[in-house]
Amino acid sequence: MDLTSRTAGDVLVLAPAGRLDHESVDAFRAAVQHRLDGAFAAGQAVLFDLSALEYVSSAGLRCFMLAAKQANAQNGRVAVAAARPVVAEILEISRFNMVFRVYPAMQEALAALSPEPAAAPPGRG
């Protein structure tokens, strides 16, 4: 499986592609870890873009859970978004949608993870 990353505002977007299963999970975990460390240290939220993920196993889901635990420990934020129908069903069957922030679309997720816009300065009359 492949992993690409990009930044959208204050959100680090990580996009795994292919199958995340017991064969690929160790490499995925290692590839994600240092990006998480950097993002949370810099105050960035992390969003997993699942639009190119074809399958995720229990071990793969555990990686997302570990990311969430790390976010909690470091006062960070993490979510997943844009899962394909098969992966979306797996998230639902495994009840990840009950313990994890899951968004159907990237735009909605990015809006939710982005910091609140600063209040406009008061007008001068």
Residues that bind other proteins (CB under 8 A): 22, 26, 55, 57-59, 61-62, 65, 68-69, 86, 89-90, 92-96, 98-100
Using the minimum distance from each CB to other proteins, give the nearer residue, 98 or 119. 98
Using the minimum distance from each CB to other proteins, give the nearer residue, 85 or 123. 85
Dihedral angle, C-alpha 74, 3, 97, 58, nearest 10 °: -100
* DSSP strands (E only) in 1-125: 2-8, 11-20, 45-49, 53-56, 78-81, 102-103
The least CB distance from residue 49 to other proteins, in Å, is 20
The contacts found for 84-92 with CB under 8 angstroms, 24 or more apart, are 84/50, 84/51, 84/53, 84/54, 86/54, 86/55, 87/50, 87/53, 87/54, 87/55, 87/56, 90/55, 90/56, 90/61, 91/56, 91/61
The least CB distance from residue 77 to other proteins, in Å, is 17
Using the minimum distance from each CB to other proteins, give the nearer residue, 40 or 100. 100
Using the minimum distance from each CB to other proteins, give the nearer residue, 55 or 112. 55
The least CB distance from residue 18 to other proteins, in Å, is 15
The least CB distance from residue 96 to other proteins, in Å, is 5
